[in-house]
Amino acid sequence: MPDLRDLRAIVVLGLGRSGSAAALLARRRLPDVAVTAIDEGELDIAGPSYAELYEAGVEFALGHAAALPERIDVLVKSPGVPNESPAVQAALARGVPIWSEVEFATRFLPNRLVAITGTNGKTTTTELTGAILRDAGVPVAVAGNVGYALARLPLEIDDDAVIVAELSSFQLEHIERFRPAVAVLLNLTEDHLDRHGAYRGYVDAKLRVFENQDAGCVALLNGDDAGVAAELATGRVPGAGERGFFGPRPTAGPWLAGVVDGVAWVSVDGDRRELCAVADLALRGEHNLSNSLAAAAAAAAVGVSPAAIAQTLRSFPGVVHRLQVVATIAGVTYVNDSKATNIDATLKALTAYSGPVHLILGGHAKGSPFDELAAATEGLVKQAVLIGEAAGTLEVAFARRRATDPLGATPYVLLSDLAAAVAHCAATADDGDVVLLSPACASFDQYRNFEERGEHFIELVNELGRET
C-alpha cells in the first residue's frame, strides 16, 4: 500500500469534476510528483478545467492516446469511470494500485469526516447534516457526490472543519485506508446493476464505508431497513467502530435516534433527549423521517446539541431536484424529482401524494426490472408517461400488468422526450392533479446528469406558466 511520500508519478483517470480536482490537488500538494491526466472520452480542451490543469503543469493523454503511461505509482480513478476501462484493466494487469478520488483526497485531510451512503436519501441527509452543523456554528464543508469534489477541500478548508460527504458505491469501490469518523448507511435496495453486475457487488461496495473504522469511530445504520438488516444478519457489515442504529421504530440494541409517541429523539451519552414532534419536521414522508433521524444521530455524534439539531430539523427547506415543487399552473402541481434515479426512490416519492398523479418515467435503465414499479403505481397513478432509452422496457412491464388486470392496471403512453411528456401532461391533467417527474432511471441517455434533466423540467414548467 503506497503512501503519498512514496509517489513519484500519478495518473488521474477521468477529467470530470472529481478527476480534475484530483489532478490539481496532486500538482499543488505534491510538486515533485509527475501528474498525468488521461481521459478516454471527448474533452473540451478549451474549457476552464483543462486550462487550469495545463497551467499547473499537468500532462495529458486524451481520446485515442489515453493509454496508461509506463511510469506510474498509483492510478486515481474518477467515480464515473467503469472498471472495464482499458486504463483500469491495464493497471490491474500491471499490479498498479487503484485509488478512488475519495481515497486520494482524504489522505490530505486531517478533518473529522461524516460519510453518508445508501441507495436513497443520501443527498437530503448529507445536506441536512451539513445544515445542522452550519446552523450550530460548527465549521463545515459539504462535498462528495453532492457536486463538490472532495479533492478540492484540502486546498480550501481549515483542519478544524467537519466534512460531511455523500458517497456513492462508485466512490467507495476503490478505497484503501479511507476511515470516516462517522459512517452512515441509510438503506440498501437494487441500484447500479449495470455497473456492478449484481446486487451483491453493489452492496459490497457500499459496506466498504465501514471497513477501516476503529474503536474511535461511529457506525450508524438504519435499523428499520430490510436491506441493512439482511447484511447485519449475515455478518457482512465490516469495521470495528461503535455501532448504533436510527429509525422511527426503535427495538433492541444501541438505538441512537428514534421516535416515541410521535416525538423524535436522539441519544446523548446514553440518555434520550427529545428533539421535536414528528409533525414539526420540515421534511415530510416516512423516508424523510428516517433521513432526519440519520442526520440527527450523525450531528449528535460530532457534538451538536439536541436543541440546535431540533432547530434545523424544523426549518430545513429540502434539496433541489428531490420532490421539489416547481409551480402550480391551472390547478396542476408540477414536482421535480429528477434525483429519483432508481426504482426505490420513485416508489418512495409516490407515497408523498394522495391525489391523482401523472408520473413521468424513463431515461437510462440500470438493469433492475420494472414490474414492481408498474404494480405499485396502480391506484396511485392516473397515467404513466414513458420516455427515453428505457421507455420500451418500461412499456413491457406496464403491458404485462394490463394483460393480467386490464381494469386495474395503470394507463400509460410512450412519448419521445421530456418536453413531449410535460406538454402531454399539461393537456390531460385536471385541477388538483400532480405531474411528477420521478424517472426511476439515470439521465445519461439524454442529459449529462440528473441536475440538467431537472433544470430542463423546471424550464418547461416555467414556460407553461408564461403561456397560461
Question: Which residues are identified as catalytic?
Answer: 122, 145, 192
- Dihedral in degrees, nearest 10, Cα atoms 418, 419, 424, 427: 140
| Within-domain flag for 151 | yes
Instruction: Please answer whether residues 73 and 13 qualify as being in contact, where contact means their C-beta atoms are separated by less than 8 angstroms.
Output: no
Query: Domain check: are 350 and 277 in the same one?
Result: no
Q: Tell me the pairing of strands 74-77 and 9-13.
A: parallel
**Entry pTM:** 0.83
Query: What is the number of domains present in the chain?
Result: 3
**pLDDT at residue 192 in the model:** 67
Structural domain ending residue among the three candidates 315, 338, 369: 315
In sequence order, the 6+-apart residues with CB closer than 8 A to the CB of 71 are: 8, 9, 34
Q: Residue 450: which domain range?
A: 324-467
Phi and psi at 193, nearest 5°, equal -65, -25
Which alpha helices (H) appear in 188-305, and where do they start and end? 193-196, 199-207, 226-233, 286-301
Grid-cell match 426512490, residue found:
345
Partners of 273 in beta bridges: 266
Residue 89 and residue 108 share a domain: no
Question: What pLDDT, on a 0 to 100 scale, did the predictor assign at position 145?
Answer: 87
pLDDT, tens digit, 9 for 90 and up, residues 354-385? 679 999 999 999 888 999 999 999 999 999 99
Asked whether residue 292 is domain-assigned, the answer is yes
pLDDT along the chain (468 residues), means of 10: 91 92 96 93 61 91 82 95 92 97 98 96 95 98 91 96 96 97 94 77 95 97 94 94 92 88 96 96 88 98 98 92 91 95 90 87 92 94 97 97 93 97 97 96 93 96 89
Question: What stretches of 31-101 adopt beta strand conformation (E)?
Answer: 34-39, 59-62, 74-77, 98-100
CATH number of the domain where residue 417 is located: 3.90.190.20
How many other CB atoms are there within 10 angstroms of residue 30's CB atom?
A: 16
CA 391, 396, 399 angle in degrees (round to 5)? 115
**Do residues 351 and 412 share a domain?**
yes
Residue 114 lies in a domain: yes
Pairing between β-strand 59-62 and β-strand 34-39 as defined by DSSP bridges: parallel
Number of H helices, E strands in the chain: 16, 20
Has residue 57 been placed in a domain? yes
- Residue 45's pLDDT is 55
Whether 1 is in a domain gets the answer no
The rounded distance, in Å, linking the Cα atoms of 354 and 123 is 25
Residue 5's pLDDT is 92
Backbone angles phi, psi at 163, to 5 degrees: -100, 130
From 315, 349, 370, give the residue that closes a domain: 315
- Name the helix (H) or strand (E) containing 450: helix 450-467
Q: What angle do CA 370, 372, 376 make, to 5 degrees?
A: 115
Same-domain pairing of 221 and 338: no
CATH number for the domain spanning 86: value is: 3.40.50.720
| Cβ–Cβ < 8 Å for 403, 375 | no
Name residue 243's amino acid.
Answer: R
Amino acid 252: pLDDT: 65
pLDDT (tens digit per residue) in 89-126: 999 999 999 999 999 999 999 999 999 999 999 999 99
Residues 75 and 90 in one domain: yes
Which region holds residue 263: left if phi is over 0, alpha if psi is between -120 and 50, else beta?
A: beta
Q: Which amino acid belongs to residue 381? A: V
Which has the closest alpha carbon to 365: 193, 171, 123, 120? 193
129, 152: one domain: yes
DSSP letter, residue 391: H
- Helix 17-29 vs helix 48-56: angle between axes, to the nearest 10 degrees? 20
Distance CA 193, CA 417 (A): 24
Q: Are residues 108 and 92 in the same domain?
A: no
Q: Tell which residue, 178, 168, 49, has the closest CA to residue 109.
A: 178
Tell me: do 381 and 247 sit in the same domain. no
Shared domain check, 287 and 219? yes
Task: Mark whether 210 and 295 lie in a shared domain.
Answer: yes
Residue 245: inside a domain, yes or no?
A: yes
> Do 232 and 125 belong together in one domain?
yes
Report CA 225 to chain centroid distance, whole Å: 17
Alpha-carbon Rg for the chain in angstroms: 23
Across the strands, what pairs with 163? Answer: 113, 141
Show the beta-strand stretches assigned E in 330-453: 332-336, 357-362, 381-387, 412-414, 434-437
The residues pairing with 275 across neighbouring beta strands, listed in sequence order, are none
CA–CA distances in Å: residue 203 to residues 150, 170, 198, 230, 411: 22, 11, 9, 11, 34
Q: Is there a single domain that holds both residue 384 and residue 418?
A: yes
Q: What is the pLDDT of residues 182-202, one digit of tens each?
A: 999 999 987 766 777 799 999
232 CB-near residues (< 8 Å, 6+ apart): 221
Does residue 2 fall inside a structural domain?
no
CATH number of the domain residue 206 falls in: 3.40.1190.10
SS3 for 175? coil
Phi-psi region at 383: left, alpha or beta (left = phi > 0; alpha = psi -120 to 50): beta
Contacts of 30 (CB under 8 A, 6+ apart): 4, 7, 10
Helices marked H in 57-198: 86-94, 101-106, 122-135, 169-172, 193-196
In a domain, 184, yes or no: yes
Last residue of a domain, one of 315, 345, 379: 315
